[in-house]
Chain A
Amino acid sequence: MEFMDSDRKNTGQPDVDNSALRKAASGGETPRFWRGFDELADTPEFRNHKENEFPHGANDPDAKLDRRDLLKVMAASAAFAGLSGCTKLPNQKIVPYVRQPEQIIPGKALFYATAVTLGGVATGVLVESHMARPTKIEGNPDHPGSLGATDAFSQASILGLYDPDRSQAEIHDGRIGSWAEFQEELSTALGAEKGNNGSGVRLLTPTVTSPTLGDQINTFLKAYPSAKWVQYESATRDNIREGAKLAFGEYLNTVYRMDQADVILTLDSDFLTSGPGCLRYARDFARKRRVEGPESKMNRLYAVECTPTNTGAMADHRLRMRASDIEGLARAVARELGVSTVAGPVAPPNVPAGWIPALARDLKQHPGASLIVAGDQQPPIVHALAHAINQALGNTDKTVYFTAPLEVSPANQWEGISQLAADIRARSVTTLLILGCNPVYDAPVDLGFKEILPKVAFSARLGLSEDETSALCHWHIPQAHELESWGDARGYDGTASVIQPLIAPLYGGKSEVDFLAVINGQSAKPSHDFVHDYWQAQRAGVERFDVFWEKTLRDGVVDGTALPPKQVSLKPGIGAEPPATEAQGLEIVFRPDHTIWDGRFSNNGWLQELPKPLTLLTWDSVAMVSPKTAQRLGGSSRPADYLKSEDAVELKYKGRTIVAPVWVMPGHADESVTVFLGYGRRRSGRVGTGAGFDAGWIRPLATPWIGTGLEIRKTGDRWALATTQTQSTMEGREPIRIATLDEYLKNPKFAQAEAEENPLSLYPEVKYEGNQWGMAIDLNACTGCGGCVVACQAENNIAVVGKKEVMIGRHMHWIRIDRYYEGGVDDPSTYHEPVLCMHCENAPCEVVCPVAATVHSPEGLNEMVYNRCVGTRYCSNNCPYKVRRFNFYLYSDWDTPSLFGMRNPNVSVRSRGVMEKCSYCVQRINAVKIDAERQDRPIRDGEIVTACQQSCPSEAIVFGNINDPDSRVSKLKAMNRNYKLLEELNTRPRTTYLAKLRNPNPEIEKTPAV
């Protein structure tokens, strides 16, 4: 095991071991902790689809009052008033172990290497565990797909583990059943099928890359040769698979080497923040943009896209066009680059004159160092064209290479699911076993799973929570969370990781491996053994397998499993057949949601409240239209009639209609509407049920991603949306300082233009002695993905407040990512800027606090002492950066037992009426300081890593000792791109920014944007 230290809160809380926690979670005992999720449950908008309330509809927290009686609040407050000495020592218990496990030292955190998956693809993580309670997820530096970084999804999976709405019992036709009972019924069902080789048996799973699980499934298919295995995810990557097939005649896995690419063209792809390997790609990409001095070079990114994405925001040149026109552009580029076979090209509309030739020249000039990336939603032909172009540019095996597929058995999932539906309709399916999938919610709507699922004689479903599908199956079996189960999965480049449990299943759930074991009649064998034995078989050569196994578990990756590059040969005549002439009319584009993906995270409060990077919307999905299109759809020339954000409209597509809120999206392609999957869940949980609208309802089999012929009708209603930023422009102020590479090279100090040398101050100068903490944030690297926001939330026990509170402006995130537009509304440049407490040396908040609850530490931290705060909010008023957050209600959840185990024991959970804010993760600073002191040595640079820094894929955030000239942070602050936010106020912030640089193509920069 890998050990790391971290001191643990020394309180009266019993030191829970698994059993205790399991009891707590199942509502057994209730130690003191917090509240918050049930509040969300009670606020109406989680029940109503349409919520016509204005932000100032704050005036019904009455729901809250029901559960808050005076006494309770007074008790809570008394607990906090503790230090005033007016409280008696409560009677607390200490419950030590009977037999103490070896590695566990009370108060020390252990870190275990495992992996979390999305769409079957693994990201290696280290999980922090306090007394056997997993509390925080960090990236695994040894995993190629993480390199120590994490995305919001993996960060939030901790909350997924402790989600109070997880299913807790086997359900048999709506009644509580039992595991044993299920096993019997299953074996009879399968037994009946034995005769006809299981022709009536169907196994429905998500994408499977797990070698062990694959092995088990194949064993099953051997036993039942006629049984069928269907893989399905609504955010399927069929297009990538089919694209490869089109180009190379076989399913392949495409891997990019961003660190080799100097010129990149994306075709509607968001490779920086979504899809397998995005963390790795973001890191390599950012490293190619580090501008440390005049000699530095930068890569150049061209983004052609319909829906604005983070990748588009990072692009040096962004070209917006309807998703269905992108094929045309791809053809044009291909032609330009001499891929002779390509038919057409139909000249794509709205491309500035000379844009394509200029791009082509740029690409040509970088043979083997350029890269074309096609997006998941683009049709196979576009992927094929991308492959062809890369081939033509000699990029294959340089900036991009191909390996055998990650999936155990790659398949066209879209065809698979429709075949399954057909079989069920044909009554040829007697036994349907569903692992995790939720077809009733997310299968193509015209397959009508809701109607046909009951036709199956025996249907069982393994799932984390009782959802739409469980409701229609005979059996629902609670699934064990990834952090509770044994398993394995492959990373974006094929590297396999072993998934090991951090805690025994809280609700006695079963892992996929367990489930397959039962199907294969091996229920006696524990899931660990399957994984262990599989790899032992794979590593027959290794003597001392136990050592290898031990190492594998410690490292989190199985040595030498990365898939080798495969020699591929491009099929001739790609794109030869002329492009299908697109049906005209309004276009509709479906995309997985940025924070809750295909809906699997919809009951996760952290992700629901994580602002979507470009809209900063929370708790809702929208129909995005460009300003121009919004005008046209208004139906008249009167501005009053234009479609506006928050207008509720009726989307009519292929005969189905759904009501959705409009979001007028700057930079979106005209004549196109983007809707997002994952919302409008009917059976999700207290958080997710009813939030947003279900775009899947108008997503037919024929057009999973892009279609035309959408009709929009105003309903006249208003659908209030909760966004965390209402002002999108910089108002002539310069929170973000931007220059092109050339401008920078001409004037390297542009960012410090109006910086004063030594501004005077009434306050005594800070003495730079010992450690002086500071932070530098490289705006050139930040992709605005939001991983840091959730990481901070997990590390610092930050409460979730719910849609209504966000609408009023009361979200609690300690680090927020501001988004600014520059240029016209139709096609602006988009910039992201993470803002957290600046830890000013002349902090305006400190002078005004009447009770000295926020003060300065000798090491330069701006400290916030919750238990001293009386809540005048004066500090927040006086904070020019508005990074302070206030507990207007008792936001933290004191009641839900299952959440108790999740909290970081080293951070106070805040009470009602106190201010809170970023602390530079002072608990981590103290932990390291204490170790260093005990070992009587100075703190090493990079030894203290804040939660946000730790999770950042692009290494944009660097924390350290600014009093040490050799520390990384000092070096960054010494750069001439370094500047202070609102410097003119002379607050002397400890958090500073490195100005953003763009590297435009001079040829295009000249031509005016269309």
Chain B
Amino acid sequence: MADSPSDKLAAAEFASAPILGPGYNYASVTDKISAIVLARRTPKWWIVGFLVSFALVMLLMVSVTYLVVAGVGIWGIQIPVGWGFAIINFVWWIGIGHAGTLISAILLLLRQTWRTSINRFAEAMTLFAVSCAGIFPLIHMGRPWLAYWLFPYPDTMKMWPNFRSPLVWDAFAVSTYATVSLLFWFIGLIPDLATLRDRAKNRPAKLIYGLLAMGWRGSAVHWERHETASLLLAGLATPLVLSVHTIVSFDFAFAIVPGWHATIFPPYFVAGAIYAGFAMVLTLSIPIRKLFHLEDFITMRHLDNMGKVLLATALIVGYGYMMEAFSAFYSGNQYERFMILNRMTGPYAPMYWLLIACNIVTPQFLWFRKVRAKVGALFAIAMVVNLGMWLERFVIVVTSLHRDFLPSSWGTYYPTRWDIFTFVGTIGLFLFLVFLFIRYLPLISIFEMRTLVASEEEKKAVN
């Protein structure tokens, strides 16, 4: 893609383009960001958004309670389609999480300074997405109250989990991922929490931020350890970006179901995850920079870069789809062939073609700088991709299962209203957490922005 004209332009222009608006010094950066948190009055749009998301969280509570009381039968799942919305949503949310870790960990190791202003809430997004994802494997069980049997512990039955099962690997992978992300995010927060502690006017705020800051005094030692810790965690998180979704993909790849049993799944899932993740980062960052007037911190350069990443991953994912179809035909396996034809022409064909439209066709607009330069367009594309990635999981889970080997046991899956409520509920939970985060924590890393200021000033000095 390096040869594409639009990109030459982009390269030329953005070489000079700032990743921080002009005329900022340490103080002003700090002011601007911490002001968002410490401001006395809460913006109206925040209250509205918060209430809406809160309502959805309540919907989630109701759905889950009813589920536990009545049983998974309230969903549309049946035989042959034993997995439905629950697993689809799980994979979708987990995927979304990835961008956060990628940005904060990998780009940190690659010393990509442009990540600075977006990594904080990208990480937050990761956390929230993972918590949404985590709900599903739990509640999709017939007997969720026995979920702890998936973990090895010395029990009165002298039984161990079946370590051959991808679901057990899942349990480990996801929990590890959640833990590391949380630590990483929190360590990153500490210096800023200290800043807030020092700038907070009222005592409760001082106390809370103070406790969370864990006695940070910004001494050289602190900074030195902080640096080491971040790098270490970044090192830990990096393989996780790959491992988690690889293992999630094993849930399918290890089964013999036509449409699941494919070696291409791990890379194709990871790419998909990053794809989805960046889409979600865009989806969040565009409104935020608008609402909090952060255009100087999250500049066009950021959006442009993310647009490019989106395009790149879109191409990888597209390649994945192609290979899926190709290997199905190349394999000469009648079940594989039937599966792919069934996807394209069967009862769920609309879903498949819509997915292609969302994930392959739409992102092609990102080849053009003009499109990448239009915030609205970027936002729209990001939304479309979010939808597309959900559809991808739907197609993989449902169309593979509903017509497998013996025609006699073929069936059709219809979600019930409870499937939808639960899904919407988790979206609510996600937004709910996001709203809390952007209001009460610095959504851009203050101390890292200060380093940017420094580098900008060096540039000036050079000129």
Q: Determine direct contact between A and B, CB below 8 Å.
A: yes
- Tell me the A residues contacting B by CB distance below 8 Å: 54-56, 58-59, 61, 64-65, 68-70, 73-74, 77, 80-81, 83-85, 725-733, 735, 805, 808-810, 816, 818-820, 833, 835, 844, 847-852, 868-874, 876-878, 880-882, 884-890, 911-915, 981-982, 985
The answer to whether A881 and B406 have CB atoms under 8 Å apart is yes
CB-CB under 8 A from B81, the residues of chain A are: 809
The answer to whether A69 and B69 have CB atoms under 8 Å apart is yes
Q: List 27 A-B contacts (CB under 8 A).
A: A55-B412, A64-B70, A70-B69, A77-B145, A83-B157, A84-B146, A85-B157, A727-B408, A733-B334, A733-B406, A809-B411, A818-B408, A847-B254, A850-B161, A852-B159, A870-B144, A877-B82, A877-B401, A880-B406, A881-B406, A882-B404, A882-B405, A889-B71, A912-B142, A914-B142, A982-B406, A985-B256
5 more CB-based (< 8 A) A-B contacts, given A872-B140, A912-B143: A84-B156, A733-B334, A849-B165, A870-B150, A876-B80
CB-CB under 8 A from A878, the residues of chain B are: 255-257
The answer to whether A848 and B143 have CB atoms under 8 Å apart is no
CB-CB under 8 A from A870, the residues of chain B are: 141-144, 146-147, 149-150
| Of the residues B68, B145, B254, B404, contact of A880 by C-beta under 8 Å | B404
The answer to whether A847 and B408 have CB atoms under 8 Å apart is no
Q: Which of B69, B146, B150, B160 has the most CB of A within 10 A?
A: B146
- How far is B427's CA from A6's CA once the two chains are assembled, in angstroms? 55
Q: SS class of chain B's interface: helix, strand, loop or mixed?
A: loop
- How far is B79's CA from A725's CA once the two chains are assembled, in angstroms? 11
- How far is B6's CA from A925's CA once the two chains are assembled, in angstroms? 74
CB-CB under 8 A from B338, the residues of chain A are: 731
Could you mark each residue 375-418 of chain B with 1 if its beta carbon is under 8 Å from any beta carbon of chain A, else 0?
A: 00000000000000000000000000101111111111011111
- How far is B168's CA from A847's CA once the two chains are assembled, in angstroms? 11
Give the total number of A-B pairs whose CB atoms are below 8 A apart: 216
Within the complex, the shortest CB–CB distance from A84 to chain B, in Å, comes to: 6
The answer to whether A59 and B418 have CB atoms under 8 Å apart is yes
- How far is B141's CA from A914's CA once the two chains are assembled, in angstroms? 9
Q: Which of B72, B142, B165 has the most CB of A within 10 A?
A: B142
Q: Which of A85, A731, A816 has the most CB of B within 10 A?
A: A731
The answer to whether A886 and B82 have CB atoms under 8 Å apart is yes
- Chain A residue at minimal CB-CB distance from B170: A850
The answer to whether A732 and B334 have CB atoms under 8 Å apart is yes
- How far is B416's CA from A871's CA once the two chains are assembled, in angstroms? 19
The answer to whether A70 and B68 have CB atoms under 8 Å apart is yes
- How far is B147's CA from A460's CA once the two chains are assembled, in angstroms? 59
Interface residues in B118-162 by Cβ distance below 8 A to A read 140-147, 149-150, 155-157, 159-162
CB-CB under 8 A from B256, the residues of chain A are: 844, 878, 880, 985
| Of the residues A58, A65, A847, A876, contact of B165 by C-beta under 8 Å | A847
CB-CB under 8 A from A729, the residues of chain B are: 407
- How far is B156's CA from A242's CA once the two chains are assembled, in angstroms? 72
- How far is B155's CA from A799's CA once the two chains are assembled, in angstroms? 31
CB of B164 closer than 8 Å to a CB of A: yes
CB-CB under 8 A from A73, the residues of chain B are: 68-69, 71
CB-CB under 8 A from A69, the residues of chain B are: 69
CB-CB under 8 A from A68, the residues of chain B are: 69-70
- Chain B residue at minimal CB-CB distance from A807: B78
- Chain B residue at minimal CB-CB distance from A805: B73
CB-CB under 8 A from B168, the residues of chain A are: 850
- Tell me the B residues contacting A by CB distance below 8 Å: 65-66, 68-83, 140-147, 149-150, 155-157, 159-162, 164-168, 171, 251, 254-257, 334, 338, 401, 403-412, 414-418
The answer to whether A888 and B405 have CB atoms under 8 Å apart is no
The answer to whether B416 and A58 have CB atoms under 8 Å apart is yes
Contacts A59-B416, A81-B146, A874-B82; A818 near B406 (Cβ below 8 A): yes
- Chain A residue at minimal CB-CB distance from B82: A873
- How far is B409's CA from A885's CA once the two chains are assembled, in angstroms? 12
The answer to whether A726 and B406 have CB atoms under 8 Å apart is no
Contacts A83-B156, A913-B142; A888 near B73 (Cβ below 8 A): yes
- Chain B residue at minimal CB-CB distance from A810: B78
CB-CB under 8 A from B406, the residues of chain A are: 733, 735, 818, 835, 880-882, 981-982
- How far is B255's CA from A70's CA once the two chains are assembled, in angstroms? 34
CB-CB under 8 A from A914, the residues of chain B are: 142-143
Within the complex, the shortest CB–CB distance from B140 to chain A, in Å, comes to: 7
The answer to whether A726 and B412 have CB atoms under 8 Å apart is yes
| Of the residues B70, B78, B83, B161, contact of A61 by C-beta under 8 Å | B70
- How far is B167's CA from A886's CA once the two chains are assembled, in angstroms? 18
Closest 10 CB pairs of A and B: A871-B142, A913-B142, A56-B414, A888-B73, A873-B82, A882-B409, A85-B156, A818-B408, A59-B416, A809-B78
| Of the residues A70, A876, A982, contact of B82 by C-beta under 8 Å | A876
- How far is B145's CA from A81's CA once the two chains are assembled, in angstroms? 9
- How far is B410's CA from A730's CA once the two chains are assembled, in angstroms? 11
Contacts A868-B159, A870-B143, A912-B143; A888 near B77 (Cβ below 8 A): yes
The answer to whether B161 and A65 have CB atoms under 8 Å apart is no
The answer to whether A735 and B155 have CB atoms under 8 Å apart is no
- How far is B411's CA from A848's CA once the two chains are assembled, in angstroms? 22
Within the complex, the shortest CB–CB distance from B270 to chain A, in Å, comes to: 22
The answer to whether B410 and A65 have CB atoms under 8 Å apart is no
The answer to whether B142 and A852 have CB atoms under 8 Å apart is no
- How far is B79's CA from A69's CA once the two chains are assembled, in angstroms? 26
| Of the residues A869, A881, A913, A915, contact of B71 by C-beta under 8 Å | A913
- How far is B66's CA from A735's CA once the two chains are assembled, in angstroms? 41
CB-CB under 8 A from B141, the residues of chain A are: 870-872, 913
The answer to whether B83 and A877 have CB atoms under 8 Å apart is yes
Contacts A83-B157, A872-B167, A888-B78; A850 near B405 (Cβ below 8 A): no
CB-CB under 8 A from A911, the residues of chain B are: 143
CB-CB under 8 A from B401, the residues of chain A are: 877
Q: Which of A84, A730, A982 has the most CB of B within 10 A?
A: A84
CB-CB under 8 A from A881, the residues of chain B are: 405-406, 409
- Chain A residue at minimal CB-CB distance from B333: A984
The answer to whether B79 and A77 have CB atoms under 8 Å apart is no
CB-CB under 8 A from A58, the residues of chain B are: 73-76, 414, 416
- Chain A residue at minimal CB-CB distance from B84: A873
The answer to whether B161 and A888 have CB atoms under 8 Å apart is no
- How far is B159's CA from A870's CA once the two chains are assembled, in angstroms? 14
The answer to whether B145 and A74 have CB atoms under 8 Å apart is yes
